[in-house]
Structure 1
Amino acid sequence: MATARKFSNAILKNLAKAHGEAAFTPTFVNGNWRGPRFSLRRQAELRKACLLTDVDPAAIGMPEPRARKVMQKKPPKGHKQQRLYAQKQAAIQKNLDEMPEKIRQWKEEKDKARSSLPF
């Protein structure tokens, strides 16, 4: 940390003694949740004060900081025609590849349906 910080006497006093786990995490007592004695903001201040005063945070009972969640990147949604463009082009190309066979079948069916009578 590049800058010198001044901490209040209350924070420095809390560094001198060990605290229980209940002071840093919510606890379920008699069917009700009780908040921690130190809020997350105060815990961050205590952790910074520990680092600056060379006190181990685990020595005063602080839990390890939680790992941050990794953000998942989603591709942009886009318009429907943009999302389906590749699929549509693949279908068109497939139909073009099959076109000579379709034309041959159509001509055969047309010849079968034609009557032999001249009228």
Structure 2
Amino acid sequence: MTTRRPTLRGIATVLISLAGILVIDAAPASAHGVTHYVSANGETKGSVRTSSDHLFFWVCDLDADGVGVYGRFRLADGRIQDVSDPNGAAAPCGQGSTTSDKRVVEMEAVWRGGASSGWKPA
């Protein structure tokens, strides 16, 4: 009976295969977009939303009450970018964008009638 000894080529193939599995398993969880709402008098007035990469953001007036909504977006560098929904409850929503080194980290929906969602994580 002969014993087969592993060759360097065989060992290398196994290690490369294992490395591929480890890389696949080490992938980060998928990013996700986030939405927060502002309400007043029992009604949802508006929303703020980010894209899954936190580079694009929107503010939407959701109630045709004649009172506007705007969003405040805190960026990774500490700056705050305000965006209004320019046409009330009609489509489209107001939008903004940033760069990858200044992603949105927090956001707030503000109804001009006196209510706010408060700062929420993006």
> Which interval holds the TM-score relative to the shorter structure?
under 0.3
The TM-score with structure 1 as length reference comes to 0.24
The TM-score with structure 2 as length reference comes to 0.23
Bigger CA radius of gyration: 1
Q: Which has the higher strand share?
A: 2
Q: Which has the higher contact order (CA 8 A, sep 6+)?
A: 2
Q: Which has the higher helix share?
A: 1
